[in-house]
Structure 1
């Protein structure tokens, strides 16, 4: 693994590049951009998947989102879906600049909200030749309708009114910015199981990292998140093959099945029996199943075009 930085417009992005065993810089390699969950950093689930992909022969790049982790951008702790989609494009830019990466053999793998961002990036960036989502979350739809997707989009209105009030307080009265947690710090009996498990992942030594602060700016993030739909026009714009992996017990499963149902490109849905949303972050039984599917999927769709070489 090599730590690195790469440009994203005026920002400097922090990444970790994972190289295959016996790496030969004189050879052209396939590569995968790995996109971390909302609130995550490259050292957590994204880095785990990148390392496992490198073990299987791919160059893999995990990076911190702009405004988060070790990457640049102010105000920090901003969750901006549109910026995060641009982050994926910038990561592809960087991979294409590396002489040992085949610029025509780049894929993307996204976890949780990173899955939704990877989908949205692939829909408008056909340099991404193949796509895998793991425990995919369409962050805008999830924020509006709730974790289980059983609420109406209009359920977002009270929160947006609160955003307006807070912006007034900050702009007119000099109030300090407020932050929301990505995962609940004090779950109760009404907290979805997945989010309780998310707290165990992010807030304990299991995967806690000093750059993952479990907070995002309330006013500046929410107004962007609530209008975002990662799957908008997916039927028409997603042309690349997609592998969708999720657990049968995940409260977020509905987003993976929606993506698979709406996509018209070559697609495969793997529902792993017994798996929850968070199991695919670091539980070996489930991570290994996701990687076992993603490896031949990427090998097939990122294969070298021998006819083009000849």
Structure 2
């Protein structure tokens, strides 16, 4: 009991510290004209430096909100390689995907980070719909837009998918060969987890949850209220009691230290009809591009990267790069792990784009 009390006290101490950090991030976010919440975010565009360009475009009739990052001394008469960055589940372009997009722009790439359809600042109803087909189409839509952006060499297009965006990246690149180099960071197989539960913890309730999703769809069709799954808000005590690193640190990241008003852990319950019958790791043999998968050695999600990587039998080349000591969420923001990941990514893209 004494040991348990000490652990809880330590966890609460960490949360208290992160609450102070959260106040700092919130202040920075309010001051940032682009509402970027990551450390080192662009505050203003300056000549000779990496610049940010908020853009919108239409994808299947829906308005998509995105940020394009251009390298220092960007010259539209020159040709640059480009990288599409797909955000995590629940995330938005102002968080981890924006950080990596900015860091890759610092390395000389034109990059784009967009909010998924139905999410963030992008359009689409019902809000917070999270269907694999839409998320995969979002990635294709980013490719459509950025390959026609001034200065982009469409023949040198790479992609980085983070967390859930990593799973959708694997699926998109199985068929879309405009992407010449494929990378994932802390890949999360949304279908496998929604179906089986995290770390296969909900295998016994699959049919029950499928019925709940079908009932939610029926309610929507009848004009009823949209039902949501996930977490709308959470207390510090609830965070402290969360057993897994992924969710405990995820709640701290999304609801405390790097919160953004457009970011949420909610998704429509009816989305499970599509999510639970989908899997990022099927047809992995169709990826014939060079593949780089990055995951933390301490990430409790690493099993998903391992499963998918083993199935990538058709990749021109493939590498699993492990961030020693990193958990899943730490790869989103912790400087030492972000730097290691970015260095590896730039090495990978330089060799393959």
The alignment's TM-score, normalised by the length of structure 1, stands at 0.91
Picking from 137, 141, 165, the partner of 2:215 is 165
Alignment root-mean-square deviation, CA = 1.7
Q: How many residues align?
A: 297
Q: What secondary structure does 1:209 align onto? A: coil
CA contact (8 A) 2:188 2:304 kept: yes
| CA–CA separation in structure 2 for the residues paired with 1:12 and 1:163 | 27
| CA–CA separation in structure 2 for the residues paired with 1:182 and 1:250 | 21
The alignment's TM-score, normalised by the length of structure 2, stands at 0.80
Larger radius of gyration: 2
The equivalent of 2:245 in structure 1 is 193
CA contact (8 A) 2:233 2:255 kept: no
Does residue 24 of the first structure (1) align with residue 75 of the second (2)?
A: yes
Picking from 28, 31, 53, the partner of 1:2 is 53
Distance 1:168 1:90, change over 3 A: closer
The equivalent of 2:264 in structure 1 is 213
Q: What secondary structure does 1:286 align onto? A: helix
| Structure 1 residue 144 displacement after superposition | 1.5
Unaligned segments of structure 1, at least 5 residues:
303-310
Picking from 248, 261, 266, the partner of 2:310 is 261
Deviations 1:94-153 (A, max 9, x none): 11112310011001001000001111111110000001100001100111122224664x
Does residue 176 of the first structure (1) align with residue 225 of the second (2)?
A: yes
| CA–CA separation in structure 2 for the residues paired with 1:256 and 1:116 | 9
Does residue 294 of the first structure (1) align with residue 339 of the second (2)?
A: no
| CA–CA separation in structure 1 for the residues paired with 2:94 and 2:265 | 15
The equivalent of 1:92 in structure 2 is 143
Q: What secondary structure does 1:148 align onto? A: helix
Does residue 223 of the first structure (1) align with residue 298 of the second (2)?
A: no
CA contact (8 A) 2:219 2:226 kept: no
Distance 1:145 1:4, change over 3 A: same
Distance 1:276 1:165, change over 3 A: same
Unaligned segments of structure 2, at least 5 residues:
1-51
